[in-house]
Structure 1
Amino acid sequence: MPELPTITTDQLAALPGPDWMLLDVRTDAEWAVGRIEGSTHIPLDQLIARVDEVSDKVVCICAVGGRSAQATAYLNSIGREAVNLEGGIQAWAADSRPLTR
């Protein structure tokens, strides 16, 4: 099994321009509490049905990185360029990065 591509919060903060879609796969309730500015919400259990809404280059995000790892593996398996945010929203917030509601 190939190693899952990951990205750190510092790398995410430095990503250039609109080339990369930020895909938040958390639940509706988690999404409502706070999210990374500019992210798109598609809960993990809806991802397969809504995959046509996902860009070719994707950063997958969840609470701590488990569900987004599943999303990353799936998206890569169907030909998207996907990376997993290490530590998820919790790591982003722990690095004092902003969340929006």
Structure 2
Amino acid sequence: MILPPFKPPKYEELRSWWLRYESDDVRRLILEVQAQRYALPEIRTLVEQCRIAAENKQPLDQRVKQINKLLREIDAQIHRADKIYRPTPTPHPNAPRSRA
């Protein structure tokens, strides 16, 4: 599914929808939007920590720990979301072809 351009709802809109609609499905979608909005700053912080560790030339094992922590958080968010539609990758025209 390719998303069309759209204006994301602001926090106040989500709050008003929460109060207006009592459907469990609508409320679950609102909670999911908020959960992702909470997760993004956490992921941003982990990315920044990885960048700082690389710039400060921290020992490799410390940098690997930071990157693994970031990857675990990304994996956790992907797992929460279940299936994420991805179009079938299109091979580059100059890529070597595998022989079966």
Compare relative contact order (CA 8 Å, sep 6+) and give the higher one, 1 or 2.
1
Q: Which has the higher strand share?
A: 1
* TM-score of the superposed pair, with normalisation by structure 2: 0.21
* TM-score of the superposed pair, with normalisation by structure 1: 0.21
Q: Which has the higher helix share?
A: 2
Greater Rg, structure 1 or structure 2?
A: 2
